[in-house]
Amino acid sequence: MSLIPSNARFFNANGVHVARALERTLAWIYSGIPVDPGSIILTDELIAYAQSEGVSEEKLRDFIAASYSQAIRPYHMLGFAKIESHYCSNIGGGVAIDEVWKRYYSAPLGSKAWWLANVAALKVLALQLGVDIRSIPGSIGAGAISCMQIMPVNWVRFGGGDYENVYISVVRAGQYLNATGYKNSFPEAVHRYNPNGGQAYVDMVVAAAAAWEAHFTGSAPDQEPELDKPSFLMTVAIFLEFLNQEMSGDGGDGGGPVPPVDGKLVHPFPTFTGYGYLFGSPVYVGGVWVIDHPGTDFIGPLGDPILASHNGKITWAQYLSRFSWLAVRWWISGNVVINQSYLEDGRQICTFNGHGLDNSYSVQKGDTVTAGEQIMRNGNTGFSSAPHDHFAVKVGGSGPYCDGGSWEDPLKWIGK
Ligand SMILES: [Zn+2]
């Protein structure tokens, strides 16, 4: 496939792919070079010192790997984290959005824009994670988020992501230290990170870092790779690779040339005759509760058409054994079709259909479908006692199956 964008028609026809590839390229640049915490070599001396500081080996690995990924010396980061956040041990006791609004109202006119920007950043983050904005915790007083106490604006501008994850939090702290001039001076970068602390704060951080440095000796991780931002050429190469993936339908996160779902779903089984399990009703197997049913079961004639409930991309069209791990995780089995797309607010949506008739697939993985198009026929395969379509709707999350998103009531989406 040619990737030469020869004229405006190219962008008009492929704008979605270009945008997705750009988004992935930016995420790649900002994420640094991932370092596997498991690959860090630790000396007994370092482990012992960490223990005396109340830092578990697992956390120590996260700290060191995340520091390397941002070319921050790990003892600098550990010293900084000791003073700033008790080694990343507390993600804050307030509701971030409430704290930020409070500061907005009390701020002088000149700094209201900054607090508004933090409100906007929290909205972006809630969308990115597919969570309720009020579930994001922040420090009382300013609404800084994650255990490294980073303001929402900075958290989001460096890529956002799971604020409960220590590795990601330390990566974000490293990005911020780099932005405040770490390469020139560690103490000055610390001062700019937290100007309210004054010189006393900086002195405490430097002393704590020196204490850690004394234990980074011998075969301790002395790797300190010189990690710079990727070169321009490298960035272009990565962008072209992502664009190529997007245009060949191998986009990882998906994102095909389909319009977003406008908030309503087509009924996947219009000729159904009755209901089985409804959304949220408890499922018992052998008298034991196993799950609250994550979808709706539509009972109906064997062999009748099952339809795509929205425009999207087929990310799964394959038999799923009821004993497989995915079947248990998704609570779906037999012949399964998963259709992935986007909502107008940018969140992902995935719909799952299960128990289809054998040899009845009319789509395959990678196909784009339009709402109402037949995807398979009604069956009784997998963990099923009568022909029915198990239909489930997952909103938010990421990847081809909306991992991390939440199940929602299909009947609400269909509008009955
Ligand atoms: Zn079911």
310 and 177 part of one domain: no
Write down the H helix ranges in 91-231: 96-106, 112-129, 152-157, 166-179, 186-193, 198-213
Last residue of a domain, one of 189, 213, 237: 213
**Pairwise CA distance, residues 392 & 390, whole Å:** 7
Whether 194 has a pLDDT exceeding 50, the answer reads yes
Q: Is 170 in contact with 68 (CB distance < 8 Å)?
A: no
Q: Is residue 188 part of a domain?
A: yes
205 and 301 part of one domain: no
Question: What is the CA(297)–ligand 1 centre distance, in A?
Answer: 5
Q: Is residue 138 part of a domain?
A: yes
Question: What is the CA(187)–ligand 1 centre distance, in A?
Answer: 58
Question: What is the CA(413)–ligand 1 centre distance, in A?
Answer: 17
Q: Is residue 314 part of a domain?
A: yes
186 and 284 part of one domain: no
Last residue of a domain, one of 173, 188, 213: 213
Q: According to the model, what pLDDT value does residue 2 have?
A: 40
Q: Is residue 87 part of a domain?
A: yes
281 and 176 part of one domain: no
Q: According to the model, what pLDDT value does residue 260 have?
A: 64
Q: Is residue 230 part of a domain?
A: no
Residue 13's pLDDT band, with cuts at 50, 70 and 90, is low
Q: According to the model, what pLDDT value does residue 255 have?
A: 37
191 and 281 part of one domain: no
Question: What is the CA(416)–ligand 1 centre distance, in A?
Answer: 18
Q: Is residue 118 part of a domain?
A: yes
Q: Provide the CATH number for the domain around residue 325.
A: 2.70.70.10
Question: What is the CA(249)–ligand 1 centre distance, in A?
Answer: 30
208 and 341 part of one domain: no
282: Cβ–Cβ under 8 A, 6 or more apart, which residues? 289, 291, 292, 293
56 and 200 part of one domain: yes
Whether 83 has a pLDDT exceeding 60, the answer reads yes
Question: What is the CA(335)–ligand 1 centre distance, in A?
Answer: 13
Question: What is the CA(42)–ligand 1 centre distance, in A?
Answer: 48
Q: Is residue 247 part of a domain?
A: no
The residue segments making up the domain with residue 43 are 29-213
183 and 324 part of one domain: no
Q: Which residue has the tokens 């492929």?
A: 14
186 and 297 part of one domain: no
> What is the gyration radius of the CA atoms in the chain, in angstroms?
25
319 and 178 part of one domain: no
Question: What is the CA(167)–ligand 1 centre distance, in A?
Answer: 37
Whether 259 has a pLDDT exceeding 90, the answer reads no
162 and 299 part of one domain: no
Question: What is the CA(275)–ligand 1 centre distance, in A?
Answer: 10
Question: What is the CA(293)–ligand 1 centre distance, in A?
Answer: 7
User: Residue-wise over 249-263: b if at least 16 C-beta within 10 A, else e?
Assistant: bebebbbbebebbee
Structural domains of the chain, count: 2
201 and 297 part of one domain: no
Q: According to the model, what pLDDT value does residue 110 have?
A: 79
Choose the most confident range, by mean pLDDT, from 219-223, 290-294, 394-398. 394-398
Q: How wide is the angle at C-alpha 327 spanned by C-alphas 321 and 390, nearest 5°?
A: 100
Q: Is 127 in contact with 346 (CB distance < 8 Å)?
A: yes
Whether 167 has a pLDDT exceeding 80, the answer reads yes
**Pairwise CA distance, residues 37 & 414, whole Å:** 44
pLDDT digits over 93-131, tens only? 899 999 999 988 888 887 888 888 888 889 888 888 888
Last residue of a domain, one of 196, 213, 230: 213
**Pairwise CA distance, residues 50 & 249, whole Å:** 46
Question: What is the CA(327)–ligand 1 centre distance, in A?
Answer: 11
Residue 219's pLDDT band, with cuts at 50, 70 and 90, is very low
Please state whether 394 falls in left (phi above 0), alpha (psi between -120 and 50) or beta: beta
Average pLDDT, the chain: 84
Q: Is residue 220 part of a domain?
A: no
Q: Is 378 in contact with 358 (CB distance < 8 Å)?
A: no
**Pairwise CA distance, residues 400 & 397, whole Å:** 9
pLDDT digits over 127-163, tens only? 888 889 999 999 988 899 999 999 998 888 888 889 9
